[in-house]
Amino acid sequence: MPLTTDARGVFPIAPTPFLDDGRIDAASIDRLTDFYLGIGATGITVLGQLGEAPKLEHAESVAVARQMIRRAPQLPVVVGVSAPGFAAMRALTQEVMAAGAAGVMIAPPNTLRTDEQIVGYYRQAVEAIGADVPFVIQDYPLTFSVVMTPAVIRRIVQDNASCVMLKHEDWPGLDKISALRGFERDGSMRHISILTGNGGLFLDFEMERGADGAMTGYCFPDMLADVVRLSAAGSRDAAHDLFDAHLPLIRYEQQQGIGLAARKYVLMKRGVIASEAQRKPGAKLAPAARAEVDYLLSRLARIDSRARIS
Amino acid sequence: MPLTTDARGVFPIAPTPFLDDGRIDAASIDRLTDFYLGIGATGITVLGQLGEAPKLEHAESVAVARQMIRRAPQLPVVVGVSAPGFAAMRALTQEVMAAGAAGVMIAPPNTLRTDEQIVGYYRQAVEAIGADVPFVIQDYPLTFSVVMTPAVIRRIVQDNASCVMLKHEDWPGLDKISALRGFERDGSMRHISILTGNGGLFLDFEMERGADGAMTGYCFPDMLADVVRLSAAGSRDAAHDLFDAHLPLIRYEQQQGIGLAARKYVLMKRGVIASEAQRKPGAKLAPAARAEVDYLLSRLARIDSRARIS
Amino acid sequence: MPLTTDARGVFPIAPTPFLDDGRIDAASIDRLTDFYLGIGATGITVLGQLGEAPKLEHAESVAVARQMIRRAPQLPVVVGVSAPGFAAMRALTQEVMAAGAAGVMIAPPNTLRTDEQIVGYYRQAVEAIGADVPFVIQDYPLTFSVVMTPAVIRRIVQDNASCVMLKHEDWPGLDKISALRGFERDGSMRHISILTGNGGLFLDFEMERGADGAMTGYCFPDMLADVVRLSAAGSRDAAHDLFDAHLPLIRYEQQQGIGLAARKYVLMKRGVIASEAQRKPGAKLAPAARAEVDYLLSRLARIDSRARIS
Amino acid sequence: MPLTTDARGVFPIAPTPFLDDGRIDAASIDRLTDFYLGIGATGITVLGQLGEAPKLEHAESVAVARQMIRRAPQLPVVVGVSAPGFAAMRALTQEVMAAGAAGVMIAPPNTLRTDEQIVGYYRQAVEAIGADVPFVIQDYPLTFSVVMTPAVIRRIVQDNASCVMLKHEDWPGLDKISALRGFERDGSMRHISILTGNGGLFLDFEMERGADGAMTGYCFPDMLADVVRLSAAGSRDAAHDLFDAHLPLIRYEQQQGIGLAARKYVLMKRGVIASEAQRKPGAKLAPAARAEVDYLLSRLARIDSRARIS
């Protein structure tokens, strides 16, 4: 099931579950996949930044992706294949596409500066992975230090027919979504799917600006799905009410370094994964932070029963 | 009234009010100062990043600072004096201290990398401005790309008796506050005041980690003052309830480029400044963004009557 | 005498001479200016990076520029006016142009990333300083982290009639000169003067690619003038022979931090300035480095008699 | 033959030879290895930045390293294993060490900022690859944006017994060598080998400051070996004479992007490798640049007969 420009809804960024001793926890991968199926995810993204991908051996990476693909045959699975060189990117792409992946996601290396360099990089990447592989542009300047204007994204989209989606996490980025949808309206750019990241911090307004949904790892992807659905249905106040209830925790997860620790901790408390362990080197949730997350959950539970997880 | 290590409460970062034609709006400066006095601010910070300082002529900078100092003689006024060279930093410091400023704030230039370079920079800055001028370290890696560990801040504090405050806006930074307060407890660092920035995004937990208050430009500094007071009084739930009501707007203001535009727009709607104008070059609030801010205000008004500003 | 697109030859970047106690050494400024006149400089650039401009009070900056302008009325003097804000840039520009400067030089702030941002910055700068002030683009990515493609430079040139010169110090940059001259040949860009920097490290080939001369601070500007003359006259081997003899010292001066110290040391030994002192904070030439420069001079003296300066 | 702190002489950074169609040219690998053996190299470094390592499949990387190791059993071969994650670093290390590599070289990822982060990274890397694998610190701020003070290098050396060498290519870096050798003399740091990079641009003085030799890819490694030998023997003028003759070409190779193209071109002309081809994406030597290299070779040939390669 190839990824297409019609993709919408929520593609959770899947964390990689580990056992306390650092081995991959295959049972939790199945449980996590089933959880995503159950909450109405319309796709799954694996081996993203959040997935601790750089800590996996190549064979492990392929195995994790393959297991999720097999467990959720009805969902498109996008695989992060960003790499310091095109050889590794091509090798991983070929393996996961052969295993049934729907497409791949490519972030720009942080050495790129000029518009030409960015456009050229994606052209070379497509040459490397093959023009028949649907791909997602990951636009995340806060982490990658690469700034893509709407015009640069348009050039990438127009130059490469296999570009089907933008993972939008420029920050701030509301006007960028409006600009890109404006390009579609004025006919200067073909339509692509836009799913938004940034941990969901602006999802409420991103939907209203024209996003098709979310691709991020917030620990309540069920809430993301609800907000996307409510927003798409025009229930603006209801969407914001639910979103705002989660915002204190969404905001808490924004903390680089401990964001992933907080997510794994909540997913463990929710019974989705067996352990909050990260493979080394990984940040641990200090006792003070753990208590803060617990407090946020207790507050959230007053409004959203899914947070009632002692 | 020199700034001391006992400073606490809220030091709003003052925007610089302009008329629509770009001239400084002196009447609004008075009104803004009176507003700060009225909401229980315990100090004011002028000529910060938010204050459009680089767009002011030197004489204008001094005039803005002097006007606020005169209007609020009962409050300590901190003046941002970060500059590309020590000559300009010294010149501005001397003028504003002579005018009655309580102290100055110094951000590190973004060329600094190593611990030694950062410590050395503050030593040289103190040589330039004089060891008798109380100063604030501005620790804002997201903007300045300079990362100071707690140990580096301790060295700056221990090396320079005139360092009285940290404007803490590392992100994430909760554990940094805990680490610095730990240094104080174990006797390895003398006490300093810690006020937090980041637009207030983590103020709820920053207070609980040991911050003394906030130094930031959020458009409802009255809320900041309430949260600081409630938190200091141990009214945890009440502090979070109020904070969470404002979080959607606080979050909205985090958008670089339009954050200041949103702040000036709200301050104008609140009747504090006459115009939302920024001096050129400045971001304008697009109609879509303006409508989003209005919507956030209308939602906030259900809980906080101060937001009832049609 | 306004700077024009016909500028060619050598514009030395003037260091600012200080006395050992940190005061500006006015007598040495005169001597330095006379020295430049004597060696056939066709212009002078003051208050560049090399000129320790950020260490000067505003009034000092203007005084230094004015003194050189008066001393060398027959030469165009370019003044560096890069500043963190347009207000300071405009103020300094107005004063030095009123004092008789030929034009100003503007470097991009290191926050710029995209092509649009760079082009927009120069448009705003021209608005600030006035469209009647001839200006030089300083293209120095190694220091400013801003990468301008030839196409971006072309847009700046075409958008702003007052752009008359490129200070070219991209590295590597030979192909950039060729590209820009190609734009002139194909009619897509009007002619501008191109003087090259980088301490002269590639001057030999830059001339052959189409540069009009050098704008840099190497301690033997007389050699630069000779190489430019020989190269322009088609004496390729002679130009390279002379250049290569100086290359070990040119290379030595490339060392950031001590390059300026080495230059001032040699200019002092040559009798041009009275002291090698830099205003604080400044790098000192360690004894080992001093001995290395002396050794390089002794080797150079075998070929170029101007280096016979015990 | 494990790499030790006694390493000295010249370890050329080997380019990876490709055929014109992009396949690895195994015959040229043998010829290149024999060439290094013939010119007195005391070691070889493969899969460095210069070796186009990111363009190689994992299996290719191992194969290239293994072939050189087998061809030069009498020489220590160092393998670059820098990777975005420790899993890939460990995997490659295990394979090449099993194949007989003498040690590995590790560059810091460009996200590191503080002293603690750098020291912590090398500790984690040693945990990942094993404390029994000799490793080389690559200190190359110009490319990696990570600045290590001498004190940080000392901490890495003292914390990790398996650290045997510094590939020194900080720039400028002469004083850094002096500082590190000073640490050895004052007993605060154990002795390590220091080989220098930067394309050889400062090799003349680096040797005099205490370096043990060179580890770089200049296209005349035979000259590097001669300069190291002459300098070690105290023949200062002779070392500089030879070095200076090559400096125009060394300088030319400094141009990022075309430096490798120039090296491969000269190595091809010297008959060492069959083709100058780089695997895609790779910079091509433009005709103008090719002519410039030819000119530099013709000038060099007047002094060094090894450059007589029409």
Cα–Cα distance measured from residue D172 to residue D178, given in angstroms and rounded to the nearest whole number: 12
Q: Which residues in chain B are closer than 8 Å to C281, comparing Cβ atoms? A: 86, 120, 124
pLDDT in tens, D253-298: 998 878 899 999 999 999 999 999 999 888 789 999 999 999 999 9
β strands within chain A, DSSP E: 9-10, 44-46, 77-80, 103-106, 135-139, 163-168, 193-196, 213-214
Q: What is the pLDDT of residue C300?
A: 97
pLDDT in tens, C17-30: 999 999 999 999 99
Q: What is the pLDDT of residue A131?
A: 98
Q: Inform me whether the pLDDT recorded for D105 exceeds 80.
A: yes
DSSP letter at C7 equals -
Cα–Cα distance measured from residue C291 to residue C268, given in angstroms and rounded to the nearest whole number: 15
Q: What is the pLDDT of residue B310?
A: 67
β strands within D120-245, DSSP E: 135-139, 163-168, 193-196, 213-214
Using CB atoms within 10 A of its CB, is residue C162 exposed (0-12), middle (13-18) or buried (19+)? middle
Q: Is B225:B241 a contact under the CB 8 Å cutoff?
A: no
Query: Of all helices (H) and strands (E), which one includes residue C194?
Result: strand C193-196
Best CA proximity match to B79, nearest among B96, B91, B95, B63:
B96
CA A122, distance to chain mean position in Å, is: 19
Mean per-residue pLDDT over chain A, rounded: 95
Residue whose structure tokens are 């370096």: D211
Best CA proximity match to A151, nearest among A103, A105, A118, A128:
A118
Backbone angles phi and psi of D194, in degrees to 5: -125, 110
Per the structure block, which two tokens stand in for B166? 């940290």
Q: What is the pLDDT of residue D310?
A: 67
3-state secondary structure of D232: helix
- Taking CB atoms and an 8 Å limit, are B175 and A202 in contact across chains? no
Cα–Cα distance measured from residue C83 to residue C121, given in angstroms and rounded to the nearest whole number: 12
Residue whose structure tokens are 């964001």: A259
In one-letter notation, the amino acid at residue A22 is G
The CA-atom distances, in angstroms, between B16 and each of B22, B65, B102, B216, C223 are 11, 10, 19, 14, 51
Q: Inform me whether the pLDDT recorded for D57 exceeds 90.
A: no
Q: Give the confidence band of A230 by pLDDT, cuts at 50, 70, 90.
A: very high
Cα–Cα distance measured from residue A123 to residue A121, given in angstroms and rounded to the nearest whole number: 5
Mean pLDDT over residues C86-98, rounded? 94
| A145: nearest CA partner in chain D | D111
Per the structure block, which two tokens stand in for B249? 């707007």
Rounded to 10 deg, the angle between the C236-253 and C287-300 helix axes is 170
Q: Are strands C193-196 and B44-46 parallel, antiparallel or unpaired?
A: unpaired
Q: What is the pLDDT of residue D226?
A: 98
Q: Inform me whether the pLDDT recorded for C172 exceeds 90.
A: no
Best CA proximity match to A53, nearest among A21, A16, A87:
A16
Q: Is B63:B92 a contact under the CB 8 Å cutoff?
A: no
Cα–Cα distance measured from residue C164 to residue D47, given in angstroms and rounded to the nearest whole number: 46
In one-letter notation, the amino acid at residue A183 is F
3-state secondary structure of A19: coil
| D144: nearest CA partner in chain A | A111
Q: What is the pLDDT of residue B48?
A: 81
Q: Inform me whether the pLDDT recorded for D15 exceeds 70.
A: yes
pLDDT in tens, C197-251: 999 999 999 999 999 999 999 999 999 999 999 999 999 999 999 999 999 999 9
Cα–Cα distance measured from residue C290 to residue D133, given in angstroms and rounded to the nearest whole number: 40
3-state secondary structure of C38: helix
- Taking CB atoms and an 8 Å limit, are B87 and C57 in contact across chains? yes
Bond preceding residue D172 cis, omega within 30 of 0: yes
Q: Inform me whether the pLDDT recorded for D214 exceeds 70.
A: yes
Q: Inform me whether the pLDDT recorded for B111 exceeds 90.
A: no
Pick from B247, B256, B299: which is nearest to A251 by CB? Answer: B247
pLDDT in tens, B241-279: 999 999 999 999 998 878 899 999 999 999 999 999 999
pLDDT in tens, A237-277: 999 999 999 999 999 999 887 889 999 999 999 999 999 99
Mean pLDDT over residues B6-13, rounded? 98
Using CB atoms within 10 A of its CB, is residue A223 exposed (0-12), middle (13-18) or buried (19+)? buried
Cα–Cα distance measured from residue D244 to residue D262, given in angstroms and rounded to the nearest whole number: 19
Residue whose structure tokens are 């020989």: C230
- Taking CB atoms and an 8 Å limit, are D54 and A87 in contact across chains? yes
Residues of C with CB under 8 A from a CB of D: 171-172, 174-175, 178, 201-202, 204-205, 208-209, 240, 244, 247-248, 251-252, 254-259, 286, 288-289, 292, 299
Q: Which residues in chain A are closer than 8 Å to D281, comparing Cβ atoms? A: 86, 120, 124
3-state secondary structure of B168: strand
Q: Which residues in chain D are closer than 8 Å to B117, comparing Cβ atoms? A: 147
Cα–Cα distance measured from residue B150 to residue C276, given in angstroms and rounded to the nearest whole number: 38
In one-letter notation, the amino acid at residue D301 is A
Strand order in the sheet with B103-106: B9-10, B213-214, B193-196, B163-168, B135-139, B103-106, B77-80, B44-46
Residues of D with CB under 8 A from a CB of A: 53-58, 60, 83-88, 91, 110, 120, 124, 127, 280-281
Cα dihedral: A172, A174, A180, A183 (round 10): -120
CB atoms within 10 A of CB B34: 13
Cα–Cα distance measured from residue B277 to residue B262, given in angstroms and rounded to the nearest whole number: 11
Q: Inform me whether the pLDDT recorded for C310 exceeds 70.
A: no
Angle at CA D131, nearest 5°, toward D125 and D135? Answer: 65
Mean per-residue pLDDT over chain D, rounded: 95
pLDDT in tens, D28-46: 999 999 999 999 999 999 9
Q: Which residues contact B141 (CB under 8 A, 6 or more apart)?
A: B147, B148, B170, B171
Q: What is the pLDDT of residue B1?
A: 78
ipTM above 0.90, yes or no: yes
Q: Inform me whether the pLDDT recorded for C171 exceeds 70.
A: yes
Mean pLDDT over residues B41-55, rounded? 88
Q: What is the pLDDT of residue C284?
A: 81
The nearest CA of chain D is from the CA of B152 a distance in Å of 9
Bond preceding residue C172 cis, omega within 30 of 0: yes
Beta bridge partners of A163: A135
Q: Tell me the HSE value of C216 on the side-chain side, using a 13 A CA sphere.
A: 29
In one-letter notation, the amino acid at residue C9 is G
Mean per-residue pLDDT over chain B, rounded: 95
Range name among A181-185, C47-51, D178-182 with the lowest pLDDT average: C47-51
pLDDT in tens, A285-307: 999 999 999 999 999 999 999 99
Q: Give the confidence band of A310 by pLDDT, cuts at 50, 70, 90.
A: low
Helices (H), chain B: 26-38, 58-71, 86-98, 115-129, 141-144, 150-159, 174-185, 203-209, 221-232, 236-253, 259-269, 287-301
Mean pLDDT over residues B133-143, rounded? 92
